């Protein structure tokens, strides 16, 4: 699946006309301990580059991707990682986050987002949004911190050390 196809799917299936920025307004349930169960949107994260990683329970590659994101935050200024749970119930997704000692905002993916990615979204999958809320690129499968840093630099999302 090409980047263009993913972007079109997200925009089309979410029912918005042109901007991926509206993706930030989808209500989703929080999975992280601080605000577990609250309905929130990604609106507080607009204005900063977002690295969104989709994960599911019992996924070793998702756990490795989480570690890569933790390392990425240390080396790339101003990047906001967000974990997005799919293919599991809230308790199992929350347990997966605890296993990695997650400190990132984490959400249960909204049905509209999950549907736009396909019946069973491939995980790990990472979407990168620039500070304007535009989808810049996506990757499927595990990507190391070095690879993600290079992609962020290449697409002029942020500077990494």
Structure confidence at residue 123 (pLDDT)? 84
Cα separation, 15 vs 91, in Å, equals 29
Single out the residue of 70, 58, 142, 143 nearest to residue 99, CA to CA: 58
* Backbone Cα Rg of the chain: 14
Task: State the pLDDT confidence band at 92, using cuts at 50, 70 and 90.
Answer: very high
pLDDT tens column, 122-141: 788 988 888 888 888 888 89
Mean pLDDT of the chain, nearest integer = 80
CATH number of 24-35+47-137: 3.40.30.10
Q: Name the burial class of residue 17, with classes exposed (0-12), middle (13-18) and buried (19+) by CB atoms within 10 angstroms of its CB.
A: exposed
Task: State the pLDDT confidence band at 142, using cuts at 50, 70 and 90.
Answer: very high
Buried b (16+ CB within 10 A) or exposed e, 70-104: bebbeebeebbbbbbbbbbeeeebbebbeebebeb
Where exactly are the structural domains of the chain? 24-35+47-137
């Amino acid at each position: 699946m090409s980047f263009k196809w993913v972007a079109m799917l997200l925009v089309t299936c979410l029912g918005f006309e042109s901007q991926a920025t509206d993706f930030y307004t989808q209500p989703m349930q929080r999975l992280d301990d601080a605000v577990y169960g609250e309905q929130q949107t990604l609106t507080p994260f607009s204005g900063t580059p977002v690295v969104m990683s989709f994960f599911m329970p019992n996924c070793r590659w998702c756990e490795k991707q989480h570690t890569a994101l933790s390392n990425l935050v240390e080396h790339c200024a101003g990047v906001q990682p967000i974990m997005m749970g799919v293919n599991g119930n809230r308790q199992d997704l929350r347990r997966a986050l605890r296993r990695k000692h997650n400190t990132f905002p984490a959400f249960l993916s909204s049905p509209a987002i999950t549907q736009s990615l396909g019946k069973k979204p491939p995980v790990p999958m990472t979407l990168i949004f620039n500070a304007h809320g535009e989808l810049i690129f996506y990757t499927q499968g595990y990507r190391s911190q070095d690879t993600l840093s290079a992609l962020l630099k290449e697409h002029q999302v942020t500077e990494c050390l």
